[in-house]
Amino acid sequence: MRDKADFIAYVEARSPRLLRTAYLLCRDWAQAEDLVQTALVRAWRAWGRVGEHPDAYVSRILVNTHLSWRSRLWWRELPTDEPPEKASPGDEIGLSDERAVLWAALGRLPPRQRAVLVLRFFEDLPESAVAQILNCSIGTVKSQTSKALAKLRIDPDLLPPAATSPVRREL
Amino acid sequence: MTPTIRNLRDLLDDMSADAPHEHRRVAQIERRIRRDARRRRTVPTILAGAVALTAISVLIPALLTPASPGKPRQTTAAHQLTPELPPHFTAKDGTPYRRLTTTTLTARSTGQKKTSVTIPVSGKPLDVAGLCDGAPGKTEAPQIIVNGALTSAQLGCTRGKDVVLAPLFLPKGATQVTVTFDSTPWECGRSKSRPCSGVKFLRPADWTLAVYEWTPPARPVEPEPIKALPRVRGGMRLIGEASGVWPKDSSFTMTITSPGGSIGFDYLCTGDLAARLHISYRTGKGDLFGGGTCRSRPEGLDPDMSPSELTEIRVPKGQKVTISGKASMRGEGRNRQVRYLIGVYGK
């Protein structure tokens, strides 16, 4: 059975990465810290039965806690319409601005779709693992990914002034 | 811009790269686990009575070790129904809130009617927040008592929806206050003719409560525009309107042509503190006065519904009437402006 020392070692090793994932979900460092701690406290309750690879279990708690907070508590969350970055000195072609626009567009996605993108493209999880975490089918993961990317593609702030760019179709 | 999957991966990686390092995370998690364990054993203790006394001696060591596979988890109603209020959050207008303290009031599950917390006062505005497991409109909400004095702050129960915030009114010069949340029914025991057992109460609920301190924005926050009032509402015509932004426009005046008889008022507001703005009005001679709390309705007003406040005007039809009024904030509102729009409807 996994014990407390094992749990603490897991927290120390994995919580920085979990914090990053949590931040990408909720977009606020203080909330992300709270989300990670809440998820780990919940994980501890079942630590004895999570098996040798607790990542999927903890990620599932993290994402589901985030989604439940979103629906229950977080109407006050500021999903960030504000560009979070200032242009860096070397940013002569406005790259930071473009990234800020994409970041803001990500913030406008529904939480579940954003979660799919974070799990797929930040955690680099396969669709089957994402489906397990979100408790849905692989087909749903595919469709949610596709819808999220489509929303980004047609986000007014990301649309170029002219017609659709061929490169855009990569997204 | 030409975003690609690679852009997206890079962005997610970069945006989360500056994670703050929390040295105390393990200690904080251990503390939360202990608190969680305490909460989770509360109700079984009460329900099981003497049997639980024996059970606790088994539970305490059990709570310090992970649950064994297949073992049913010990949960309590209080834990399930009173989720934690966040330690920090940011209001829509960008105002940061910091939780100073939190507590629970388990009026439904354990019969606890009162709980108190003592908090330091830094000079920043304070709000109380509550989450409950009762039904909206049918739940006994706790009264808020500061240093023994009942305040007019009110929490409402909106189960499964929003965290409700209310301003906390503080005595001047206080450096520390004791806030008591008391869900004893208001009428209970207040008169000999109405003993507690004879009073029909609203239903008790379990509450998660907290006191938050908020930092006023550095500059006044511009509230969103308000959707125009319908020209006709519930069969009544719009005959006058006034608008402004509190606190700059804390009073208003409008002149209408009296329709004689029925007259209706509606108020709409935007801004995070919209629900705390009180609108009061009166006619020049004072034959008509009233007021109410503003409300935020981004979708605007339903033209098929009657105005929310209906009254009678005694000024003869066709005469000019000046209506003046005030907009006042309940509690602090520094740099958190509220836009208001007041409509007067007549037949």
Is B220 part of any domain?
Answer: no
Residue B323 is inside which H or E element, if any?
A: strand B320-329
Last residue of a domain, one of B75, B94, B116: B75
Start and end residues for every CATH 1.10.10.10 domain found in chain A:
83-159
Is B15 part of any domain?
Answer: no
Tell me the per-residue pLDDT of A99-130, one tens digit each, with 9 for 90 and over.
778 888 888 888 899 999 999 999 888 888 89
DSSP label of B246: E
Q: Are residues B87 and B188 in the same domain?
A: yes
Question: B86 and A73: CB-CB below 8 Å?
Answer: yes
Q: Are residues B340 and B243 in the same domain?
A: yes
User: Taking Cα atoms as reference points, which of B224, B207, B214 lies closest to residue B89?
Assistant: B214
Better-scored residue on pLDDT, B219 or A84: B219
Whether the pLDDT of residue B202 is over 90: the answer is: no
* Highest mean pLDDT (candidates A158-162, B75-79, B268-272): B268-272
Whether the pLDDT of residue A156 is over 60: the answer is: yes
To the nearest whole angstrom, how far is the Cα of B32 from the nearest Cα of chain A?
7
Tokens for B216?
């006023």
- What is the percent of chain A where pLDDT is above 90? 19
Q: Are residues B174 and B281 in the same domain?
A: no
Question: A37 and B28: CB-CB below 8 Å?
Answer: yes
What fold does the segment set A1-78 form as a domain?
A: Rna Polymerase Sigma Factor; Chain: A (1.10.1740)
How many domains is chain B partitioned into structurally? 3
Q: Considering CB atoms only, which of B7, B8, B66 is closest to A2? A: B66
What fold does the segment set A83-159 form as a domain?
A: Arc Repressor Mutant, subunit A (1.10.10)
* C-beta pairs of A83-91 under 8 Å, 24+ apart in sequence: A84/B15
Whether the CB of B72 is below 8 Å from some CB of chain A: the reply is no
What's the rounded mean pLDDT across residues B299-316?
A: 78
pLDDT band at residue B335 using 50, 70 and 90 as cut-offs: very high
Start and end residues for every CATH 1.10.1740 domain found in chain A:
1-78
User: Which residue range is the domain that position B91 belongs to?
Assistant: 79-214
Q: Are residues B71 and B85 in the same domain?
A: no
A37 three-state secondary structure: helix
Name the burial class of residue B292, with classes exposed (0-12), middle (13-18) and buried (19+) by CB atoms within 10 angstroms of its CB. Answer: middle
Is B6 part of any domain?
Answer: no
Is B93 part of any domain?
Answer: yes
CB B329 within 8 A of CB B276: yes
To the nearest whole angstrom, how far is the Cα of A131 from the nearest Cα of chain B?
20
Question: B13 and A122: CB-CB below 8 Å?
Answer: yes
Tell me the per-residue pLDDT of B230-242, one tens digit each, with 9 for 90 and over.
999 888 899 999 9
CB B153 within 8 A of CB B167: yes
Q: Are residues B57 and B90 in the same domain?
A: no
B321: CATH: 2.60.120
Is B7 part of any domain?
Answer: no
**CA distances in angstroms from B114 to A170, B176, B285, listed in the order given:** 60, 19, 47
Whether the pLDDT of residue B56 is over 80: the answer is: no
Q: Are residues B197 and B143 in the same domain?
A: yes
Tell me the per-residue pLDDT of A130-153, one tens digit each, with 9 for 90 and over.
988 888 888 999 999 988 988 888
